[in-house]
Chains A and B, each alone.
Chain A
């Protein structure tokens, strides 16, 4: 089944403890992206990747890192999480920039205390 898989689904951590949220897609998609969703603010783009080893900042990149060493995986790294990074995170992918829909993972709910 074609899908975008995020792990974990739920994560509770403490301020400053490094964490990684994984994202993997099995559709051979070139483009991948991370978003955070907060009440009243909608989804905002954190980082995106247009191919292996090609990543760039979205609208809210501060406090996050990403890597794209292989086509299928696009992990989101929080080196020193803070409470303002408590949010619902989504990974998405698409085969092409212009004509193809975004496919989303099921989300990761992160709480930083």
Chain B
């Protein structure tokens, strides 16, 4: 059974710091991995999608990597800003029948001004 874990559960950093959020999954049979941002009480905003055959994707200050063989992904945020404060979720799209997406519980990030 696919399980997705995100560490740490919460993180507080000063503005300007570079940071890494971690996501691990137990089954490498995935189509892709997607990172989302969620603001309190709001919906999920897609940040980056990495295909299973890719190693990384970049968008602005964000860089996501994927190591499928070890079941790990990282989201790197450069030069963090208070506006980056949110919960970050990763999700894997499972292979093997159906349309199954498994989410991690998220990392709550607080960037202090």
| A contacts, CB < 8 Å to B | 31, 33, 35, 40-45, 48-50, 56, 58-59, 90, 92, 97-107, 109
What is the CB-to-nearest-CB distance from A92 to chain B, in angstroms, rounded to a whole number?
8
A44 to B100 alpha-carbon distance, docked (Å): 10
Determine whether the beta carbon of A42 is less than 8 Å from that of B100: no
Binds A, one of B10-18, B60-68, B70-78, B101-109: B101-109
Determine whether the beta carbon of B46 is less than 8 Å from that of A101: yes
Select one of A43, A49, A98, A99 contacting B103, CB under 8 A: A43
The 8 closest A-B pairs by CB, nearest first: A42-B105, A43-B103, A104-B44, A106-B43, A48-B99, A98-B31, A101-B49, A104-B43
Q: Which residue of B lies closest to A48 (CB)?
A: B99
Contacts of B46 in A (CB 8 A): 101-104
18 A–B contacts, CB within 8 A, in A order: A33-B99, A35-B103, A42-B103, A48-B99, A50-B99, A56-B98, A56-B99, A58-B100, A92-B44, A97-B93, A98-B32, A98-B51, A99-B31, A102-B101, A104-B36, A104-B46, A107-B41, A107-B43
Contacts of B106 in A (CB 8 A): 42
Interface of A, secondary structure class, is strand
Q: Which residue of A lies closest to B98 (CB)?
A: A56
Contacts of B32 in A (CB 8 A): 98-99
Known: A90-B43, A104-B43. A45 touches B101 (CB 8 A): yes
Determine whether the beta carbon of A97 is less than 8 Å from that of B31: yes
